[in-house]
Amino acid sequence: MAMDPRNAGGTPGGAGMFLIGLGMFVAGLYLLFQQIDVHGGYWRFGMGNDRSFGLTLVPLLVGVGFLFWNASSKVGWFLAGGGLLIVVAGIIANMQIHWRRTTLFDALLILALQLAFWLALTHLQSRFLLPCLPPLVVLVALGIEELVRRARWLALVLAVVLPAGLGCWCIHLYGQERGGRPATYIDGVMLRTGVGSAGIDPGFLRELAAANSDVYLTHFTDASRGVYLFGDATPFYVLRPVVWHTTWDTSPLGEIIRAHGDDHRAWAAALIERGLPLVLVNEAELSRLAVVDEWYDPVVAASDWRGFFESHARPLMVWPISAEHRRVLYEIIPPR
């Protein structure tokens, strides 16, 4: 699709205004680079107290030798590529960059030309000021370098106070978003918990519920009914009465089995009595914990829990996890 020249650069000012602003930006960069001196460092061949250039060439030369013998040698390519990266990184690391002494007017002019372009000729959103960061960082770094020379203690204070202050300010801004709930839209939290999800299309919710158990529990079951997470230990989005446990906690079903043996009717009655008529079974986690790792409650692992759910519960929803395992939401059938 061809770009409309009237909206060049994402602005309604047209190509002319965009090119003017672009010229201001380039001019500012030119003036900035004119005030910077770059001096190459040096490496000594051989060994000594100074940095040795010769030793850094060894991997490269060995790799090139391997490639001469066998161009498809993986070891040769690894040594040659790694040696070349070491050489390039060493050259960059030994560069010395210095800011020339300049007048305050020139320094402000360099910054103003770039700020004027991004403030006047782009959308007034903070992300469009990102290109201003490199010259600002350079100016701040050079200023701190000068402070280190003149007042080392002040530079150390600024190096601690500025990052800490900016970090606290960012945390404060984040905490104020979404009315004090900044994570509302992260990972579908709004839909999975039901907080602030009024007005969402019911058809869209049904599609999501078919793929996510949290959405189904929140929007398509009675929130007053308790749910037992059998195998899962992540109740982060279940805003209702919920029972769960980690591998090292006491298993609620294990306690029931120890009290009633293999009586499935008693299991069903005990779960309902505890206010847990719904059970979300994660077959993959149960298989991993009970069969593979053998970390689960041994009483539960040895019991016929599959037969219990098949005979004394009805499946409300099934979510495939793999070819062998599912996540199933069961409703316990009250024993007669």
Residue 305 within any structural domain of the chain: yes
Residue 243 within any structural domain of the chain: yes
- Residue 135 backbone class (left: φ over 0; alpha: ψ -120 to 50; beta: rest): alpha
pLDDT at residue 3 in the model: 44
Question: Half-sphere exposure (CA, 13 Å, Cβ side) for 311?
Answer: 12
Residues of the chain with pLDDT under 50: 1-7, 9, 11, 45-48, 123-124
The answer to whether 94 and 40 have CB atoms below 8 angstroms apart is: yes
**What is the distance between the alpha carbons of residues 18 and 65, in angstroms, rounded to a whole number?**
52
Radius of gyration (C-alpha) of the chain in whole angstroms: 33
Residue 174 within any structural domain of the chain: no
- Tell me if residue 237 falls in helix, strand or coil: coil
pLDDT at residue 234 in the model: 77
Residues listed for the chain: 336
**What is the distance between the alpha carbons of residues 108 and 93, in angstroms, rounded to a whole number?**
29
pLDDT at residue 126 in the model: 55
Domain that residue 315 falls in: 221-332
Residue 321 within any structural domain of the chain: yes
pLDDT at residue 326 in the model: 93
Residue 187 within any structural domain of the chain: no
Strands (E), 27-156: 36-39, 96-99
**What is the distance between the alpha carbons of residues 302 and 308, in angstroms, rounded to a whole number?**
13
Task: Express each pLDDT in 23-67 by its tens digit.
Answer: 776 777 777 777 777 666 555 544 445 555 667 778 888 888 888
Query: Of 297, 320, 270, whose CA–CA distance to 308 is shortest?
Result: 270
Query: Of 1, 246, 25, whose CA–CA distance to 120 is shortest?
Result: 25
Residue 306 within any structural domain of the chain: yes
pLDDT at residue 1 in the model: 39
Interior angle at CA 149, CA 143 and CA 155, nearest 5: 60
Residue 120 within any structural domain of the chain: no
Between the CA of residue 196 and those of 189, 190, 191, 234, 240, what are the distances in Å? 10, 6, 8, 22, 16
Between the CA of residue 192 and those of 91, 232, 278, what are the distances in Å? 52, 16, 17
For the chain, what is the domain count? 1
Lookup: tokens for 214: 């949290």
pLDDT at residue 130 in the model: 63
Task: Express each pLDDT in 249-273 by its tens digit.
Answer: 778 999 999 999 999 999 999 999 9
**What is the distance between the alpha carbons of residues 202 and 277, in angstroms, rounded to a whole number?**
25
Lookup: tokens for 293: 């790792």
pLDDT at residue 203 in the model: 84
Start-end of H helices in 35-73:
53-69
Residue 102 within any structural domain of the chain: no
By the 10 Å C-beta count (0-12 exposed, 13-18 middle, 19+ buried), 330 is classed as: buried
